[in-house]
Amino acid sequence: MTLSQVSTVVHDPASVDDAITSRFSTRAFLPRPVPRETIEQILQVASRAPSGTNTQPWKVYVLQGDSLRSLSDKVCAAHDAIYADPQLAQDYREEYEYYPRKWVSPYIDRRRENGWSLYGLLGIAKGEKDKMHAQHQRNYRFFDAPLGFMFTIDRILERGSLLDYGMFLENIMVAARGRGLHTCPQAAWNGYAKIVLPHIGAGPDEMLVCGMSMGYADEAALVNGFHTPREPVASFTRWLG
């Protein structure tokens, strides 16, 4: 810790709050490029995330241009193949369980509300599997963002490091908002690690944590009007003492 860290005064807490509360999973981006200097600034700020014994377990791959488009083509082809033959899904598995094996309330209720609210906004009715597939595949096009990120972690690390990683990812998203950018964190890529990891040049000791899209939001896109609700503080807080 430096003296400046101890003595720094945040003079505009409202801006900090705005950067956090205006973050949402953006699902439509403009093609406008993001300067490399801006990306480096965001990652440098994000690296101040806390981690147990300062392990700093994150490793970042930034995709743009041909590398982004090529990965998208590969994964979209696999995604289409699975849609045509669901048995192929056995060849694509997540290396860690992101979601619970058994869904219970209230989590399953929030999940359903999230999915049907998004599809409802987009005019996708229950049972319209082709439209659902097409919308889900937007993940693998990074929602047309000019930047795609892949995050990996050393396989030797344990669940505590994934907690640290989450704080690093949140820092990225908040720092991006401070620079007028939007993001979408994406666990959708995890099942395609066997395609992603060789593409980005990750070593055999690395595990895919998630992907992320980043860029300037398309404010005219209908899908960007979708914002998920949050529980009130009273519903998840218990005061003791």
Asked if 14 and 22 touch (Cβ cutoff 8 Å), the reply is no
Spatial distance between the Cα atoms of 232 and 241, rounded to a whole number of angstroms:
21
> Domain 24-226 class?
alpha beta
Helix or strand (DSSP H, E) at 63: strand 59-63
pLDDT in tens, the chain (241 residues): 566 888 899 999 999 999 999 999 999 999 999 999 999 999 999 999 999 999 999 999 999 999 999 999 999 999 999 999 999 999 999 999 999 999 999 999 999 999 999 999 999 999 999 999 999 999 999 999 999 999 999 999 999 999 999 999 999 999 999 999 999 999 999 999 999 999 999 999 999 999 999 999 999 999 999 999 999 999 999 999 9
The amino acid present at 142, given as its one-letter code, is F
User: What are the boundaries of each domain within the chain?
Assistant: 24-226
Name the pTM for this structure: 0.95
Spatial distance between the Cα atoms of 73 and 196, rounded to a whole number of angstroms:
11
